[in-house]
Amino acid sequence: MTTRALLVTSSILSENGQSNALANHFKTKTEAHDVVVTHRDVVANALPHLAIEELGAWQTPANERNADQQALAAHSDELLAELRASDVLVLAVPLYNLGIPSQLKAWFDRVLRAGETFRYTENGPQGLLEGKRAIILAARGGQYAGTELDSQTPHLKAMLGLMGISDVDVVFAEGLNMGDAQRDAALKEAFQAIDQLVETL
Ligand SMILES: Cc1cc2nc3c(=O)[nH]c(=O)nc-3n(C[C@H](O)[C@H](O)[C@H](O)COP(=O)(O)O)c2cc1C
C-alpha cells in the first residue's frame, strides 16, 4: 500500500541547509519505495506570527466568515488538509538559538488547532490525529542530544503528542559546525539511519 509522507523543511539556508540535505536524502531514498512525498517548505512559504484575527477566523463558523476571515482561515485549513492526508510526517529541523525555526513554530501554530487536531477534555487535552507516525531529522551545529540543553526534541515530541502522534523517531546529525571530520561522520551516520527508517515505511 502506498505510504503518504508529508515532508516539512524549515532551514533558512536553502540549498546549503544541512537539514535540507537530510530531507533530500529522505526524498531520494523513498523513490525506490511505494511512498508519495508532499513537500512543504515553511521558509519559502513563510507564514506570519499567529494573531488574534486568525484565531477569530477559526472561531467563526465557515459560512459566516467575511472575506478577510476566509483568507486567514485558509492558511490553517490548507496545512491541516496536508497533514490529515499523510501517514507519516517528516520534520527536517535545524537548531536555531536552541530552538526550532520560528517559521516551523508558525506552522505548528496553524496545525495545533483545538477542535481539529486535539480537543480539551476533563482529563486534559486529547489528540485527534490517529494512526500517524513522525520522523524528526535534526541538524545541529553543536552536540546536545540527551542533554538538558536539547529542549528542542522534547518540545517537538510534546507538540506532536498533543495531536495524538506519539510514534516518533529522531535522527540526529550533530556537531555539524565542529570541523569537517565530525560533520562528515555525523551526516554519514544520519543518512544511514534515514535509509533504515525508509525501509520501515
Ligand atoms: C541563526 C542560527 C542559529 C543557530 N543556533 C544554533 C544553536 O543554538 N546551537 C547549535 O548547535 N547550532 C546552532 N546553529 C547552527 C545550526 O544548527 C547548523 O548550522 C545546522 O546545520 C542548521 O541546520 P540548517 O543547515 O538546515 O539550517 C545556528 C545556526 C543559525 C543560522
Which domains occur in the chain, in start order? 3-199 (3.40.50.360)
Q: Which atom of ligand 1 is nearest to the CA of 20?
A: 26
- pLDDT bin (cut points 50, 70, 90) of residue 79 is very high
Residue 4: per-residue pLDDT: 98
Average pLDDT, integer, range 49-61: 97
Beta-strand pair 88-94/3-9: parallel
* pLDDT at 199 (0 to 100): 97
Task: Tell the residue nearest (CA) to atom 30 of ligand 1.
Answer: 96
Q: 117-156 pLDDT, tens per residue?
A: 999 999 999 999 999 999 999 999 999 999 999 999 999 9
CA of 95 from ligand 1 middle (Å) equals 5
Of the pLDDT bands very low, low, confident and very high (cuts 50, 70, 90), residue 86 is very high
Write out the three cell numbers for 65.
466568515
Q: Ligand 1 mean position to 53 CA, how many Å?
A: 32
DSSP structure class, residue 99:
B
Please give the Cα distance from 157 to 140 (Å, whole number): 17
pLDDT value for 44: 97
Asked whether 130 and 117 are in contact (CB, 8 A), the reply is: no
- The verdict on whether residue 102 carries a ligand-binding annotation is no
Ligand 1: list residues with CB < 6 Å.
Answer: 11, 13, 17-20, 94-98, 139-142, 176-177
DSSP 64: G
Give tens-digit pLDDT for 160-181. Answer: 999 999 999 999 999 999 999 9
